[in-house]
C-alpha cells in the first residue's frame, strides 16, 4: 500500500475564524521586532485582516507561557504566536530561561487545545539570532505564523472529521 492510498488530513494555511495573538518579548527587541514584522507580514499575506491580529508586548521569554495561556484561554483567540530570543551568555541563565519557555509554551498548547507556535530563538551569538530573524530569508517569526495558521485549520478539520 502506498502513502497515496491512505486517508490524509493536513492543515491548510488560511486565516482562522478568530484572532491570532502575537506575544513578543521586549528583551532582545532588536531581534524580536524583526520576528514580529515577519509574523505580521506573513499573516496579512495569507488573508488575515490587521484588526484580527493582536500584538502583546511582555518583558522577556520567561513570561511567554503565562501570557500565552491567558490569551489562549480567550474565546476570541484562535492561536498564539510566542516570539522571543534567548542568547547564550557566560552563566546557566540561558538554559533555565530557554528550557522553561519551551516547556511552558508546549504545556499551554496542550492544556488549552489551541495552537501556540514556538518562535523562540535560542542561539549562541547575537549574529546567529539576527540571521534567524532576518527579513531577507529564514525569518522565524514568519515561520511561526505559518505554523499557527496551519495548525488552526488542522485542528478544525480533526474536530469535524469522522475518522
Residues tagged active-site:
93
d(C-alpha 130, C-alpha 25), whole Å: 15
Give the residue from 87, 161, 155, 86 showing the smallest Cα distance to 116. 155
Q: Would you call 121 helix, strand, or coil by DSSP?
A: strand
Where does 5-163 have alpha helices with state H? 29-45, 64-72, 93-112, 126-132, 140-160
Q: Would you call 90 helix, strand, or coil by DSSP?
A: coil
What's 87's DSSP letter?
Answer: E
72 touches 78 (CB < 8 A) = no
DSSP string, 8-19: ---------SSE
d(C-alpha 152, C-alpha 79), whole Å: 7
Amino acid at each position: 500500500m502506498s502513502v497515496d492510498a491512505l486517508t490524509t488530513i493536513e492543515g491548510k494555511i488560511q486565516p482562522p475564524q478568530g484572532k491570532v495573538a502575537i506575544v513578543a518579548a521586549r528583551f532582545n527587541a532588536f531581534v524580536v521586532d524583526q520576528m514580529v514584522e515577519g509574523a505580521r507580514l506573513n499573516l496579512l499575506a495569507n488573508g488575515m485582516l490587521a484588526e484580527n491580529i493582536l500584538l502583546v508586548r511582555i518583558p522577556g521569554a520567561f513570561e511567554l507561557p503565562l501570557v500565552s495561556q491567558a490569551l489562549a484561554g480567550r474565546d476570541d483567540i484562535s492561536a498564539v504566536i510566542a516570539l522571543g530570543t534567548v542568547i547564550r551568555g557566560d552563566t546557566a541563565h540561558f538554559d533555565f530561561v530557554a528550557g522553561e519557555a519551551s516547556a511552558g509554551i508546549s504545556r499551554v498548547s496542550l492544556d488549552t487545545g489551541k495552537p501556540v507556535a514556538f518562535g523562540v530563538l535560542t542561539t549562541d551569538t547575537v549574529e546567529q539570532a539576527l540571521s534567524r530573524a532576518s527579513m531577507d530569508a529564514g525569518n522565524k517569526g514568519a515561520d511561526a505564523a505559518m505554523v499557527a495558521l496551519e495548525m488552526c485549520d488542522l485542528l478544525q478539520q480533526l474536530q469535524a472529521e469522522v475518522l
